[in-house]
Amino acid sequence: MFEPAVHAQVNVTTQHNDNSRTGANTQETILTPANANSTQFGKLFSVAVDGSVYAQPLYLSGVTINGGTHNVLYVATEHDSVYALDADTSAILWHVSFINPANLVTTVSPADVNCTDISGEIGITATPVIDTTTHTIYVLARTKENGSFFQRLHAIDTVTGAEKFGGPVVIHASVAGTGAGSNGGTLLWDPQLENPRAGLLLQNGHVIMGWSSLCDVDPYHGWVMSYNAGTLAQEGVFNDTPNGGEGGIWMAGAGFAGDSNGNTFFATGNGTFNGTDEFGDSIVKLGAPGSNSFPLLDYFTPYNQATLASSDLDLGSGGPLLLPDLPSGSAHPHLLALAGKQGMIYLINRDSLGRYCNGCSGDTQIVQEIPGALAGQMGAPAYWNGHLYFGSERETTNTADHVKAFSFNAGGSGLISTAPTSQTPETFLFPAVSPSVSANGTSNGILWLLDNAQFGGACCQVLHAYDATDLARELYNTNQAANGRDALGSGVKFTVPTVANGKVYVAGLGAITAYGLLIPSGGGGTISLATKAFGAYHNSSATASSITSSAFALPPGDLIVAYCGNTSITASTPTISDTAGNVFHQVGVTVAASGGDSLSMFYAANAKGNSNDAATCTWSSAQNNLAVMALV
């Protein structure tokens, strides 16, 4: 069963929750350290989808689809599909596919790119992004069509699944350069070898995305492009190694970060570097796109870049996290944090990144660096309430490490603690985890993470929850409940749990699984209602398509639960409304018993008050023996 949720509705529209990439949902009023345990919390449902899910699932609350209001989970698969799922019931609301095998339009195979890093097939890998003002989800998809390779930016209506703005648009780009793969002083973007892994960024009407390679198959470069969110016209192109090679932008799936001034931040992998036009193993800051280019505003490159590149210790295995602004008068009010495969944590002034210290033995020009803090980082850290959380491992030596919390700006220092303030009892192998945080403001913090060490077909993923103020205290994991009640299937690399409105969503190998609070088997949930019932019944041989309850007083901010039923043996879900104009959400799915009685349950939380309210159930066609009951 699913319990109605009485709480503020939140959205997750981009990778790691926001453009700063904090990974924090600070409006979670249901899940707390007190109830995130295997007695009260567990698996609610699992939905099979048509491919592996590397992209983080996104979430919108209160979306009207097909006449009903739903919390919606948007899921993109490597089979080039996008699903809109009811986030509370698991029902598929719509599903679109960008392939047509009968006409030789397929996903890309690992053999096509000479790499098996992505399991089975390659379609949609980068986390999409949603524009709530235009009800659009932007998706970057790869296809193979009659032997040729394409990548397209799709703008999909979040309500209907239809293409928008004349899309999709085929990706093309070129820059002047003599680097690997160039011809006659021109470097073309390659839709076969360039792979989009970093999460998309939506900022000031620009959809910003980037590319790297798979398995370092040359020739490749790090590319950044921007497309207008309303017209899908290309606005800017940037290549980080136009006269050299590599420098891919992958960040283990972390998203491009954006600040309030419209600047974009990202990290690059191993590649050529000269500080002029070659920026391998660097943090790069670009200004707003225009005239089909990006202004290069600043960069930071570690003093030992050559060693990082030659030892396969990409700085760009991690993604930047833009920390909250410090008070006016602080030495460095605008900071970012990042760690790469080497395990060094860098704290950098976003207003002056520090560039490159040639011939130095350390990066003394930046705010802070913490050597040996981690075995290595892949993906992005998370931030909440003065705490930075890093996953850690070293792939090349098969070294496991703890997930670690560090303090930030303790005592107004403007710095990161040089030692962890707490760490998980467990250690984790490759791929390092990218944690997420749920909290109610500055209280009830929970750190969520996925152990995907058994990825690509092995069993099983494990979801963990820890007290975000003390990582030594594990609250829950999916192996705790008896008889495998909460067990997950196989995972994929670098996935991030999505936490919204009392539920945690986990992406895996061909499935999406939801976790939340359980209703005890003896009956009764966590919501206590002093109820009065107001109903109506249409008992007649004549059919009708709607029925309205008797009138009742509905206090503002209250919870209303309503049941709609008829004697059909086929489940048919009505729409529901009330005089006050509240938005109702369906609980579970419509159920029809073999002897009749199709029954649907709805609720509206934080209701609009009305002294003479009434609930109306309306079916699409006339039914027999209609009934409605409203509980307040």
- Per-residue pLDDT tens for 103-128? 999 999 999 999 999 989 999 999 99
- What was the pLDDT predicted at 534? 57
The predicted model gives 204-220 an average pLDDT of: 97
For residue 625, the model assigns a pLDDT of 75
What pLDDT is attached to residue 436? 97
Lowest mean pLDDT among 87-101, 531-545, 600-614: 531-545
Q: What angle (nearest 5°) sits at the alpha carbon of residue 115, between those of residues 111 and 121?
A: 60
CA dihedral 24, 30, 34, 40 (to 10 degrees): -120
Out of 222-226, 227-231, 232-236, 377-381, which region has the weakest mean confidence (pLDDT)? 377-381
**What residue spans define the domains of the chain?**
24-92+101-517, 533-631
Cα–Cα dist 293/209, whole Å: 13
d(CA 559, CA 540): 31
Q: pLDDT of 470-517, one tens digit each?
A: 999 999 999 999 999 999 998 899 899 999 999 999 999 999 999 999
pTM here is 0.84
629 pLDDT tier (thresholds 50, 70, 90): confident
State the DSSP code for 585: E
Strand partners, 576: 617
For residue 61 the two structure tokens come to 């609350």
> For residues 376 and 573, which has the higher predicted lDDT (pLDDT)?
376
Q: How confident is the model at residue 370 (pLDDT cuts 50, 70, 90)?
A: very high
Is 70 exceeded by the pLDDT of residue 527?
no
Domain 24-92+101-517 coded CATH 2.140.10.10: yes
* pLDDT tens, position by position, 567-588: 776 778 889 999 988 888 887 7
For residue 4, pLDDT over 90 is answered with: no
Q: 631: pLDDT confidence band, cut at 50, 70 and 90?
A: confident
pLDDT band for position 542 (50/70/90)? low
Residue 526 pLDDT exceeds 60: no
Label residue 536 by pLDDT band (50, 70, 90). Answer: low
pLDDT at residue 525, rounded to an integer:
37
Instruction: Determine the Cα–Cα distance for residues 499 and 31; give it in Å rounded to an integer.
Output: 9
**Summary mean pLDDT of the chain:** 91
Q: What is the pLDDT of residue 539?
A: 53
Residue-wise pLDDT for 23-48, tens only, equals 999 999 999 999 999 999 999 999 99
Give the model confidence (pLDDT) of 338-349 as tens digits: 999 999 999 999
Q: What pLDDT sits at residue 6? A: 37
Q: Which residue carries 């500080």 as its tokens?
A: 275
Q: What is the sign, positive or negative, of the torsion defined by CA atoms of 478, 479, 482, 486?
A: positive
CATH 1.10.287 for domain 533-631: no
| Chain segment 287-310, per-residue pLDDT in tens | 999 999 999 999 999 999 999 999
Residue-wise pLDDT tens digits, 144-183: 999 999 999 999 999 999 999 999 999 999 999 999 999 9
Residue 543 has a pLDDT of 75
Element housing 112 (H / E): helix 110-113
Comparing 397 with 449, which gets the higher pLDDT? 449
CA distances from 105 to 79, 87, 164, 197, 429 (A): 11, 30, 21, 22, 37
Tell me: the pLDDT tens digits for 395-444? Answer: 888 899 999 999 999 999 999 999 999 999 999 998 889 999 999 999 99
